[in-house]
Amino acid sequence: MTRRQIDIIYRTCWTLALLIVAIPFVFPFLWMVSAGFKSTTEIFGTPSLLPRVWRYENFIEVFTYQPFARQYFNSLYIAIAVTVLTLIISSLAGYALARMRFAGAGLLMLFLVSALMVPEEVTIIPNFFLIRSLGLIDTHWPLILLPTFGPHGVMATFLMRQYFLALPRELEDAGRMDGLSRIGIWWRIALPMSRPALAAVAIITFLFSWNLFLEPLIFLSSLEMFTLPLALSNFNDSYGLPLWNLQLAATTLAVLPILIVYLIAQRQITESFALSGVKG
């Protein structure tokens, strides 16, 4: 056999192997959608990927069983709020840490680095009492404040700082000559040049908030305040057993839009995660 033939065989084998490995990655999504359309009896019958009878009513019942539209909206607006706040706060602090000299900068960096090492689970108990004493239990405030100022926000700050450090200084110096203030330089020169970093922070922050579970679980108690992950885990009958078809229909509704956006912007999204590199 020639080298070329060996190469072709080699590649075919790899592709086949990859296709087999891909099954448990794709299969759950397919099954989620299909089971969402099935009736309770069919869901436990002989497995088939396509429902014999498409039961669209599941997707309507999802909205009557829980205030699902409201919960969807909650997740959306909280994720947007966390993303916008994180973008502003992390780029401000990241800019100062990259470009400005000030007493205490070194100590501040050290403190922030140490925050990266401490998981939210460690501080969640005192934070619960703090939020309770502020009277903010069963509101969305803790879901906006804790992620913005927690380890995730610190990670975003470092990501922004890293990016600002790599930018050329000349434009900023020119801006100063033209009489721009610091805040003007940050807003008109530094931020427009850091679109890739801002996009990365926006993507990972939005997903972080969208998928957040521990905080909603601890702080929220009324159905109208729930966010999506909490709502999804709540599709149970009065015995606490899952209402599978409703639960999977709701999961489909929660997962599919994100998945579609991901399929469109796959490259941008994976690169954002590669850039942050500290999740999971």
x-or-dash string of contact with other proteins, 159-198, rule CB under 8 A: -----------------------xx--x------------
Residue 106 found at the interface with other proteins (CB under 8 A):
no
Of positions 2, 4, 24, 222, contacts other proteins by CB under 8 A: 24
Residue 59 found at the interface with other proteins (CB under 8 A):
no
Residue 141 found at the interface with other proteins (CB under 8 A):
no
Name the residue nearer to other proteins (CB basis): 21 or 53.
Answer: 21
- Residue 213's φ and ψ, nearest 5 degrees, are -130, -45
Residue 236 DSSP SS3:
strand
Of positions 1, 53, 126, 169, contacts other proteins by CB under 8 A: 126
Stretch that binds other proteins, among 57-65, 169-177, 192-200, 259-267 (CB under 8 A): 259-267
Minimum distance of other proteins from residue 57's CB (angstroms): 19
**Region of 217 on the Ramachandran plot (φ > 0 left; ψ -120 to 50 alpha; else beta):** alpha
Minimum distance of other proteins from residue 64's CB (angstroms): 20
The pair of three-digit structure tokens given for residue 241, joined into one six-digit string: 């057993």
Residue 37 found at the interface with other proteins (CB under 8 A):
no
Of positions 1, 18, 20, 50, contacts other proteins by CB under 8 A: 18
The pair of three-digit structure tokens given for residue 123, joined into one six-digit string: 């501080």
Closest CA to 74 of 212, 256, 214: 212
The pair of three-digit structure tokens given for residue 144, joined into one six-digit string: 């906006």
Residue 6 found at the interface with other proteins (CB under 8 A):
no
Name the residue nearer to other proteins (CB basis): 194 or 251.
Answer: 251
| Contact (Cβ atoms closer than 8 angstroms) between residue 194 and residue 167 | yes
| Contact (Cβ atoms closer than 8 angstroms) between residue 172 and residue 189 | yes
Q: Please tell me the total number of residues recorded for the chain in this structure.
A: 280
Stretch that binds other proteins, among 51-59, 76-84, 191-199, 270-278 (CB under 8 A): 270-278
Total interface residues for other proteins by CB under 8 A: 95
The pair of three-digit structure tokens given for residue 76, joined into one six-digit string: 């959306």
Name the residue nearer to other proteins (CB basis): 64 or 133.
Answer: 133
Minimum distance of other proteins from residue 183's CB (angstroms): 8
Closest CA to 251 of 26, 24, 48, 35: 35
Residue 100 found at the interface with other proteins (CB under 8 A):
yes
Residue 128 found at the interface with other proteins (CB under 8 A):
yes
The pair of three-digit structure tokens given for residue 209, joined into one six-digit string: 């908030």
Which residues does 81 contact at the CB level (< 8 Å), separation at least 6? 144
**Between residue 195 and residue 254, which ones bind other proteins under the rule CB under 8 A?**
207, 210-211, 213-214, 217-218, 228-230, 232-233, 242, 244, 247-248, 251, 254
Query: How many angstroms separate the CA atoms of 209 and 82, rounded?
Result: 7
Query: How many angstroms separate the CA atoms of 233 and 251, rounded?
Result: 9
